[in-house]
Amino acid sequence: MIQVNHNFSLKEFNTFGISAFAKAYSPTNSIEQLKETLSYYRRETIFLLGGGSNMLITQDIETPVIHVLIKGIKEVYRENTTVRLQAMAGENWHEFVMYCISKRYAGVENLALIPGNIGTSPIQNIGAYGVELKDVFYSCTVLDLKTQEEKTLFLDDCKFGYRDSIFKNEAKGKYVITSVTLELSDLNLTDKYQVKTSYGAIQEELNKLNKGESIDQIAQAVINIRSSKLPDPKLLGNSGSFFKNPIINKAAYHKLLESNDDIPSYPVNDDQVKVPAGWLIDKCGLKGYRDGDAAVHDKQALVLVNHGNATGSDIINLAQFIQNQVYSKFGIKIHPEVNLIKQ
């Protein structure tokens, strides 16, 4: 049965806590209901809503909002130590990670505490602490928004890049993702799994925990690190990392080292390195910077926050100011990771 709510507040459905309204809002809890709702709005452009974590709403949404809330996790394949889990789009990402850890399925432990839902994880190719979704991705099922044809897209089909995918480019606005299948290692059957602890402060945090390098301890280390730096969206509106870490060529990096010998970097390939955007912003003296209720978080400069009544435009203006400051000081352009919703 189709549900339609008019002039519906989206404040509780976006992690920035931006006060905005949907002209029409329809939650969907099954693929059948999703199809019915798409048919109902077939003559209109729609706005798909997932976990509301990687977006910044800048105004009221004048097109119908369809909220994808389909739940379910099941094992769909197993061979030797490999297991594939299919999770429906409405499942919370972090809860899914903890489910995997409880089953001793390895591969997503470094991605603990990333906000959002399963269904939007391929769009962004979410990643943290040396791991990206593409490293464990097997496939996803999608529904064509116009024809309602269901199809499966595999790893190569999705054209994953750094915080990028086909869903942000040629397939943007074409599909709704209904499930994601990930390929993991069953540690109940093998001890030949290489954990990833070299990125960021994971090893340092593991040393504090002093309990080894099991996947549950790695997840706990990541949770501790993220909790110490990233504010809880329920307490302080934010969308996690606002900017992508810029990738620059090694020649430019070595040039920067001449005047910034402490600038960190992570290798991308033989010719490029990734530089932490948070470090660049911090070096511009902007950590904790505030303009009204829009601010740079005082513990992690990569995070922009809403202290209560900031509008989407307030956050965008702050982001543009930060971009200008970083470019002026370092000659590096940084770009938003967050999806800016403008209609």
Which residues are identified as catalytic?
A: 163, 241, 337
Tokens at 199, concatenated: 């990125």
Please state, in angstroms and rounded to a whole number, the distance separating the CA atoms of residues 65 and 33: 14
**Whether the Cβ atoms of residue 22 and residue 8 lie closer than 8 Å to each other:** yes
Q: What HEC string does the chain produce?
A: CCCCEEEEECHHHCCCCCCCEEEEEEEECCHHHHHHHHHHCCCCCCEEECCCCCEEECCCECCCEEEECCCCEEEEEEECCEEEEEEECCCEHHHHHHHHHHHCEECCHHHCCCCCEHHHHHHHCCEECCEEHHHCEEEEEEEECCCCCEEEEEHHHHCCECCECHHHCCCCCCEEEEEEEEEEEECCCCCCCCCCCCCCCHHHHHHHHCCCCCHHHHHHHHHHHHHHHCCCCCCCEEEEECECCCEEEHHHHHHHHCCCCCCCCEECCCCEEECCHHHHHHHCCCCCCEECCEEECCCCCCEEEECCCCCHHHHHHHHHHHHHHHHHHHCCCCCECCEEECC
